[in-house]
């Protein structure tokens, strides 16, 4: 698969070349863009596989690398989607790139959500805040494509304002489905917004999803997670039913360079997805 590798040695630091096929500005402040990337190698384009919840290192030579969750589901063939927030050196450089630009991809990295084993047959509750929705989009799409393998699917997604919601067109399509309960909320009233209003924890309390044979996949800023847990616990949820996706500073992405460790585990290699019961046994270094 790696044409330059005449030595036939597997090199986890060598990115696969890819090109930007499309750039879409997701939010009204322009800080979030979704990039559709296509591998330059045809075989790789066909054979690529990943598990929802996994991430990849996006490599901009001359600038650096960033770990970004894969926003596309493995069922979306031929391309990968990454929704990137502009914040530092590399993300700024990435946001200035346009169609046709060459980017490197190292991945898939991390463990992903256990969609093929533990989560099968369960009722799924997806709770997302702000731009943490990316890998949950991948997970949701995967489950919708394999709908009969899962029970009831509930999605609670909130953003600061309607303009800050990601994947707006898809949200509208999903609202119309009858095999999915989607609750989209914004923090405050906004002109033209007819949907729910309230913070994600508030809406979670109102929806009060049942913990019966269920699993919750939660992604969001630490403060959102902190306030979302009490309503779930009140409804009877146990810590081993709740899956969280951690973030930490990463460099190698393969559990060697030492930056992302939380106690004995590496977020890049043993995570980023962990059950809350596992996190309770670890130091809070994330």
Partner 1 sequence: MEPLKIDKENLKDILQVISKDYKTFCPQKTDKGFRDWRIINRDTEFDSEFFSYFDEVTLPKSSIKPFFFPQPETLLTFNYDPKAEDAFLPKQCLDKEPDKIDTVLFGVRPCDARSLILNDMPFKDDPYYNIRRKKIFLIGISCTKQSSTCFCLWTGGSPLGTDGLDIILHPLDDETGYVIEFISKRSEELKDTIFPEKFCSKASQSELDEIAARKEKSKSALKSMPNLAEQLKQKELMAVYNAPFWQDVAMSCINCGACTFLCPTCYCFDIQDEVVKKRGRRIRYWDSCMFPLFTQHASGHNPRGDKVKRVRNRFLHKFKYFPDRFGPVSCVGCGRCIKECPVNIDIREVIRNLLAVK
Residue 191 interacts with partner 1 (CB under 8 A)? no
CA distances for 23 relative to 34, 48, 65, 93, 210, angstroms = 6, 21, 19, 14, 39
176: exposed, middle or buried (Cβ count in 10 Å: 0-12, 13-18, 19+): exposed
Residue of 132, 138, 130, 122 whose CA lies nearest to 80: 138
Residue 284 interacts with partner 1 (CB under 8 A)? yes
- Scanning the chain, the segments in alpha helix (DSSP H) are 42-47, 89-95, 134-145, 168-175, 200-207, 222-234, 276-280
Q: Contacting partner 1 (CB under 8 A), which of 235, 254, 275, 278? A: 254
Residue 230 interacts with partner 1 (CB under 8 A)? no
State how far the Cα of 84 lies from the Cα of 24, in Å rounded to an integer.
11
Residue 247 interacts with partner 1 (CB under 8 A)? yes
Mark the segment that binds partner 1 (CB under 8 A) among 26-34, 86-94, 125-133, 175-183.
Answer: 86-94
Residue 61 interacts with partner 1 (CB under 8 A)? yes
- Name which of residues 97 to 126 contact partner 1 (CB under 8 A): 101-102, 104
In angstroms, what is the minimal distance from the CB of 11 to partner 1?
5
Cβ proximity to partner 1, 221 vs 236, nearer residue: 221
Mark the segment that binds partner 1 (CB under 8 A) among 14-22, 163-171, 188-196, 205-213.
Answer: 14-22
Q: How many residues contact partner 1, by CB under 8 A?
A: 44
Cβ proximity to partner 1, 112 vs 253, nearer residue: 253
Q: Contacting partner 1 (CB under 8 A), which of 17, 107, 158, 272? A: 17
262 CB-side CA count, 13 A: 22
State how far the Cα of 87 lies from the Cα of 85, in Å rounded to an integer.
6
Spatial CB neighbours of 53, under 8 Å, sequence gap ≥ 6: 69, 110, 111, 112, 113, 115, 135, 138, 139, 245, 272, 273
- Name which of residues 263 to 282 contact partner 1 (CB under 8 A): 263-264, 281-282
Residue 63 interacts with partner 1 (CB under 8 A)? yes
Q: Contacting partner 1 (CB under 8 A), which of 42, 43, 49, 62? A: 62
Phi/psi of residue 276, nearest 5 degrees: -60, -35
End-to-end CA distance of the chain: 35
Cβ proximity to partner 1, 192 vs 258, nearer residue: 258
Mark the segment that binds partner 1 (CB under 8 A) among 54-62, 134-142, 173-181, 205-213.
Answer: 54-62
Spatial CB neighbours of 229, under 8 Å, sequence gap ≥ 6: 242, 276
Residue 176 interacts with partner 1 (CB under 8 A)? no
In angstroms, what is the minimal distance from the CB of 235 to partner 1?
28
Residue 74 interacts with partner 1 (CB under 8 A)? no
State how far the Cα of 122 lies from the Cα of 143, in Å rounded to an integer.
11
The three-class DSSP label of residue 277 is helix
- Other beta carbons within 10 angstroms of residue 88's beta carbon come to 11
Cβ proximity to partner 1, 26 vs 270, nearer residue: 270
Chain residues in the site for partner 1 (CB under 8 A)? 4-5, 7, 9-15, 17, 59, 61-65, 87-88, 91, 101-102, 104, 247-249, 251-252, 254-259, 261-264, 281-286
């Amino acid at each position: 698969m790696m044409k330059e590798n005449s030595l036939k040695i597997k090199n986890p630091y060598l990115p696969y070349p890819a090109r930007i096929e499309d750039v879409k500005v997701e939010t009204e402040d322009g800080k979030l863009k979704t990039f559709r990337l296509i591998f330059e190698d045809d075989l790789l384009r066909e054979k690529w596989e990943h598990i929802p919840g996994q991430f990849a290192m996006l490599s901009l030579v001359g600038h650096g690398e960033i770990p970004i969750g894969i926003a596309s589901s493995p069922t979306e063939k031929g391309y990968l989607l990454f929704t990137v927030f502009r914040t530092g050196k590399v993300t700024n450089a990435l946001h200035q790139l346009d169609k046709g630009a060459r980017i490197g991809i190292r991945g898939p990295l991390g463990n992903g959500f256990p969609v093929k084993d533990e989560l099968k047959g369960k009722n799924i509750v997806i709770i997302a805040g702000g731009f943490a929705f990316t890998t949950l989009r991948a997970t949701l799409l995967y489950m919708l494509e394999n709908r009969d393998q899962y029970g009831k699917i509930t999605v609670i997604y909130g953003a600061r304002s309607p303009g800050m919601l990601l994947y707006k067109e898809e949200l509208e399509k999903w609202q119309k489905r009858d095999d999915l309960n989607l609750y989209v909320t914004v923090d405050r009233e906004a002109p033209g917004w007819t949907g729910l209003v309230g913070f994600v924890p508030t809406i979670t309390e109102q929806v009060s999803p049942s913990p019966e044979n269920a699993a919750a996949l939660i992604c969001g800023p630490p403060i959102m997670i902190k306030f979302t847990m009490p309503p779930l616990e009140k409804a009877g949820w146990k810590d081993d039913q709740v899956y969280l996706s951690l973030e930490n500073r990463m460099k190698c992405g393969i559990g060697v360079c030492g930056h992302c460790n939380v106690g004995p585990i590496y977020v890049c290699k043993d995570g980023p997805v962990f059950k809350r019961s596992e996190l309770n046994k670890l130091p809070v270094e994330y």
